[in-house]
Amino acid sequence: MTWSGIEVRLRIVRRDFELDVAFESMGRAVGLFGPSGAGKTTILEAIAGWRVPRDGFVRVGESTLLDTAHGRSVPVEARGVGYLPQDDLLFPHWTVRENIRAGIERAARRGDDAGTFERAVHVLELAPLLERRPATLSGGELRRVGLARAICSGPTILLLDEPLGALDLELRRRILPYLVRVREEFDVPVVLVTHDATEVHALCDHAIVIEGGRVRASGSPAAVLSGPALHATEFENVLRGEALECEGGTALVRVGGGALFRIPRAGLEAGDRVLFGLRAADIVLATAPVTGLSARNVLPARIESLATDRDDVFLLVRPDGDGSGDAPLLWVSLTTGAVQDLALTPGGAVHLVVKTQSCHRLA
């Protein structure tokens, strides 16, 4: 399916809030990033048709869904939007199978070919849950069922509202790979709402920062989500690469530019593509080569920039590679004292020390 992008212009005024945004993107996965109350969910509701502003324009691909200047507003049921709200909103008296098939019935009423039930069940690993009811499911299982229902509705675009927001860190790490698989397996454009930069890096090719009802930045995730104010110690670098060899419980992964990381194998085989995360706070810096460590990853690198946020310093570093391409930029979180003691400055040579277990597979 040829994708001609998404275009949104909205102005919504309420007594306590004003939303005034305009953006256009050719990205197939757009992340709306920002704090709670910024207006991100309101934008999704306008795209879906749940909220019709007095002044607005929404185009998805070749279809104009909203154009208030010309009196056009396509009804919700005719927009072909798959929506995963913050609350799963599953029918409690129906089984998982029946809830998912409700999405297929909506697609059939629009005349869409929605033969995706088996694929969705397979990709999201739902077969063991099909005869259970929502009350018996965990938070992560509910998210996967809601996502399957949205996919099976045959959407022209998939809207995900904080899909991992209600989950704890461990559950988020377990569910994020399913979202990555959905993006890779189903040819459906996605708009993701989140306040987690890791999700944007893992899932999106275009990021839009929303604050106070306004667009504050727009561009690639690497370019837009690059300031210390956007990062906390929980921020994860997201790396893509290829498994070169697998032995025992680890895999050697080559990322962009030829940098090599030893990560937990987690089912990988040589030749597999892999997406893995590494927390900024889990990277140790050394100013000289180090030996005698249990950590399996010691990579020479160079500091690109430093930015201070209160008592923390965020360093942007680039591992040395083999010259075959651009090596990834990694964020490292250190205290101000550590940076001063090591006399770290832009352009300085360092070594990155990373334990294998600090890397975890996302997909």
Alpha-carbon span 292 to 128, nearest angstrom: 46
Return mean pLDDT, the chain: 89
pLDDT at 113 over 80: no
Structural domain contains residue 256? yes
More confident residue, 103 or 221: 221
Domain containing 285 equals 236-361
Q: Tell me which of 5-14, 32-41, 175-184 is least confident.
A: 175-184
Residues 97 and 129 in one domain: yes
Structural domain contains residue 1? no
Structural domain contains residue 175? yes
Given this model, what pLDDT does residue 343 score? 96
CATH number, position 283: 2.40.50.100
Residues 125 and 258 in one domain: no
Residues 136 and 99 in one domain: yes
Reported as a single tens digit per residue, the pLDDT across 232-253 is 446 778 898 999 999 889 999 9
Residues 203 and 251 in one domain: no
Residues 14 and 145 in one domain: yes
Q: Tell me which of 25-39, 170-184, 223-237 is least confident.
A: 223-237
Alpha-carbon span 320 to 341, nearest angstrom: 24
Structural domain contains residue 23? yes
Residues 58 and 190 in one domain: yes
Residues 182 and 257 in one domain: no
Structural domain contains residue 110? yes
Given this model, what pLDDT does residue 312 score? 82
| Count of structural domains within the chain | 2
Alpha-carbon span 66 to 48, nearest angstrom: 10
Closest CA to 290 of 333, 217, 351, 357: 351
Residues 257 and 194 in one domain: no
126 to 37, 104, 154, 286: CA distances (angstroms): 33, 16, 18, 45
Last residue of a domain, one of 193, 225, 257: 225
In this prediction, residue 2 has a pLDDT band, given cuts at 50, 70 and 90, of confident
Structural domain contains residue 335? yes
Structural domain contains residue 231? no
Reported as a single tens digit per residue, the pLDDT across 308-317 is 877 788 899 9
48 to 65, 191, 199: CA distances (angstroms): 9, 11, 22
CATH number, position 40: 3.40.50.300
Q: What is the mean pLDDT of residues 158-170?
A: 87
Last residue of a domain, one of 183, 199, 225: 225
Residues 212 and 246 in one domain: no
Last residue of a domain, one of 201, 225, 249: 225
Beta-sheet strand order (sheet of 349-354):
284-286, 349-354, 297-309, 312-319, 330-335
Residues 216 and 309 in one domain: no
Whole-prediction pTM:
0.79
Reported as a single tens digit per residue, the pLDDT across 122-159 is 999 999 999 999 999 998 999 999 999 999 988 999 99
Residues 260 and 200 in one domain: no
Q: Name residue 278's amino acid.
A: L
Residues 69 and 179 in one domain: yes
Q: What is the mean pLDDT of residues 161-184?
A: 84
Structural domain contains residue 182? yes
The set of residues, in sequence order, having a beta carbon less than 8 Å from that of 270 and lying 6+ positions away, is 243, 244, 245, 246
Q: What is the mean pLDDT of residues 77-86?
A: 90
